[in-house]
Amino acid sequence: MKPQEFDLIVMGGGSGGLAGAFRAASHGAKVALLEPRELGGTCVNVGCVPKKAMWLAAELSQKIALASSLGFDVAPPTLDWKEFIVHRQRYIAGIHASYRKRLDESGVVLMPCHGHFSDAHTVVNADGVALQGRQVLIATGGRPSRPEIPGAGLGMVSDDFFNLCAAPPRVAIVGGGYVAVELAGVLQALGSQVELFVRGQRLLDGFDEQITAELADDMRQHGVRLHFGHAVAALEEASGGGVTVLAVDGTRSERFDALIFATGRTPNRSGMGLDKAGVAIDARGFVQVDAYQNTSVAGICAVGDVTGQAALTPVAIAAARRLMDRVFGGQADAKLDYRNIATVVFSHPPVGKVGLTEAEARACFGEQVSVYATRFRPMLHALADSPQRSLFKLVCTGDDRRVVGLHLLGEGADEMLQGFAVALKKGITLADLHDTMAIHPTSAEEVVLLR
């Protein structure tokens, strides 16, 4: 049978794959997209979207508790998880329907199945149909990894969190990154007693240390128990069910009703036949790409988590769109600038950053670095006499005090960072911030008042 021919074959229907397919089709390309599971990938199904929904539920729970301390006649909040899941999944189903409609309108051929390379230009789908593409985009994403330790099967991974129908009474979370911190905050707010087991001595590697230290204090104020320098050696089944954690130093935890591993992610490339296509893989197992998202094989590109580059949904989308603008839109220099990417951790309270940490800035600019920070209690928490604190921090360099890093911990940090990220990319200085009128009373005004 003669292979079906396309201008672009997209392997993976997550955020990056869909963005690439839609943008290529808008340039007139004939596109096929292969995705064996639900459209939207990790973000829509077991990542950003359901995570943010659960975070919002947790936020409501905390706000109701604050309302009670301010005089509102409200009972202690409890969440009917099953009822909330109905709303969460209805929202996600709407996203799936929107994607399918856009694919139809764009003329993209959706093949709901897996595909593998038979050579550098041919992809064979699970039905045995050969597809030939002038370009192939690998956008298969990643999945949670489980450590190779005895008893690891007793623990869940982050994907399993979304199958929960109630908050387990006692939960252990292994890890100290984005996922661990976010799940810890949500579960603690919704009724679990959470303990976080972190191999290192701090949370959120890559974030400013002063900010993460303050976050750890805030998490403790919310009741999360933190164990730093705690390398997990094994899990053991507890008598009567549940699990206990055995550390490398021999210490054994109390019994937990559930344990979640949040110890990193693995690229989805199994069974793809990348070796037959000649696509190079790096030492960590990720697909190697250059600054233009090209792999080692002409005509094969990759974006998103499968490449190991800044594993964030907007990054995969932006990289895919610029790639298609270059390949099909005639924009020869189009590529994603990976510098100064703003990002937020939906902790309680949220953490946001853009640019360099203080340590990174000092490594680059030495004595030219100046730092400005303020620690304060947001108005609502001050009214309720809550101990939660916010910490805002600016990192500047040079005589003109150009802003090279902005770090926010506190309520509203997730919403206020976006505009400041634009300003930082445009090269604002401390004087520019001081020349901007403060909006009072808000937390955001603290950024323009830093001295």
CATH number of the domain at 402, please.
3.30.390.30
* 258 and 279 in a common domain: no
pLDDT tier for residue 2 given thresholds of 50, 70 and 90: confident
pLDDT digits (tens, 9 = 90+) for 122-142: 999 999 999 999 999 999 999
Determine the pLDDT at residue 245.
98
* 183 and 200 in a common domain: yes
Domain final residue pick, 216, 243, 263: 263
pLDDT over threshold 80, residue 446: yes
pLDDT tier for residue 178 given thresholds of 50, 70 and 90: very high
* 41 and 168 in a common domain: no
* 158 and 130 in a common domain: no
Q: Tell me the residue range of the domain where 413 lies.
A: 349-449
Of 45, 38, 30, 47, the closest CA to residue 12 belongs to: 38
Residue 337 within a domain: no
Task: Indicate the number of domains in the chain.
Answer: 3
Residue 342 within a domain: no
* 114 and 182 in a common domain: no
Contact indicator for 265, 253 with CB cutoff of 8 Å = no
* 137 and 95 in a common domain: yes
Average pLDDT on 365-374 reads: 98
Residue 440 annotated as catalytic: yes
Of 395, 397, 423, the closest CA to residue 211 belongs to: 395
Q: First-to-last CA distance in the chain?
A: 71
Residue 341 within a domain: no
* 121 and 76 in a common domain: yes
* 161 and 133 in a common domain: no
This prediction has a pTM of 0.96
Residue 192: CATH number of its domain: 3.50.50.60
Residue 229 within a domain: yes
pLDDT over threshold 90, residue 236: yes
Active-site pick, 27, 87, 407, 440:
440
pLDDT over threshold 80, residue 1: no
pLDDT over threshold 80, residue 217: yes
pLDDT digits (tens, 9 = 90+) for 347-363: 999 999 999 999 999 99
pLDDT over threshold 90, residue 86: yes
For tokens 């680059």, what's the residue? 364
Contact indicator for 82, 165 with CB cutoff of 8 Å = yes
Average pLDDT on 47-60 reads: 97
* 18 and 137 in a common domain: yes
Residue 340 within a domain: no
DSSP secondary structure string for all residues of 326-384: HHTS--TT-----TT--EEE--SS-EEEEE--HHHHHHHHGGGEEEEEEEE--HHHHHT
Q: CB neighbours of 346 closer than 8 A, spacing ≥ 6?
A: 51, 52, 55, 182, 185, 414
* 276 and 136 in a common domain: yes
pLDDT digits (tens, 9 = 90+) for 245-261: 999 999 999 999 999 99
* 274 and 249 in a common domain: no
Determine the pLDDT at residue 405.
98
Percent of the chain with pLDDT over 90: 98
Residue 448, classed as helix, strand or coil, is: helix
* 288 and 254 in a common domain: no
Element (H, E) at 87: helix 81-106
Determine the pLDDT at residue 240.
85
Determine the pLDDT at residue 161.
98
